[in-house]
Amino acid sequence: MSKYQTRHKNINQKNEDLTPFLRVSPPVISTLMPNERKIIRLRISDIPNNYLSGEYRTHLKFTQEVIKKLNPPTDEDTSISFDLAMLVNSSIPIYYQKKDRTTPPKAIIKCSKNHLTIINNSRYQKKIELLGADTYKQFILLRQSDLDIAYNGKTTIKINDEQQKVCL
């Protein structure tokens, strides 16, 4: 059951970047101890009118800074020492939908013998669910991308919680 997703060629990262419109407060978190919490506020300013409707995204990245404490060995002949610094970075995706009054185009579903292709020409991502006799899979199909997957037997395809098609 191999699967892969490809983006359409006309999409580039600049077309869907939300970063210039995002403001984070506070911009720097100085010290955060284990089990301590900090409230971070996000503000997304209005997307200009010349931007098309659709989904825009960015990632809020948290980076840990290294605090070096060196404990040199007392006797260099009998001891071995080394410094090990591990950094754990985390990233949170942030999505924004600029909507218009028209409904986005539906995904195109193509079934062939044990092979399924779903084409998303919309500027919005879609939630895909595949229900087979003994399998259940979920995918997020990004905007303007295709999903090719192998399947076994009768499979029901749901897109955004609506039943779309049954492939045999």
Q: What is the pLDDT of residues 63-108, one digit of tens each?
A: 777 666 666 666 666 666 666 667 778 888 888 888 777 777 888 8
Query: What pLDDT, in 10s, does the model give residues 117-146?
Result: 899 888 788 889 988 888 888 888 888 888
DSSP assignment letter at 17 = B
* Nearest alpha carbon to residue 54 among 128, 146, 148, 121: 121
Write down the mean pLDDT value for the chain.
79
* Contact in structure between 55 and 61 (CB atoms under 8 Å): no
Distance between CA 91 and CA 62 in Å, rounded? 6
pLDDT band at 2 (very low <50, low <70, confident <90, very high): very low
Q: How many CA atoms within 13 Å lie on the side-chain side of 84? A: 1
- Going by C-alpha positions, the residue among 68, 70, 64, 69 that lies closest to residue 33 is 64
- What the chain holds in terms of domains, given with CATH numbers, is 9-98 (no CATH), 108-167 (2.60.40.2400)
pLDDT digits (tens, 9 = 90+) for 27-60: 777 777 778 888 888 888 888 888 877 888 888 8
Pair 157, 116: CB distance under 8 Å: yes
Q: How far apart are CA 40 and CA 44, in angstroms?
A: 13
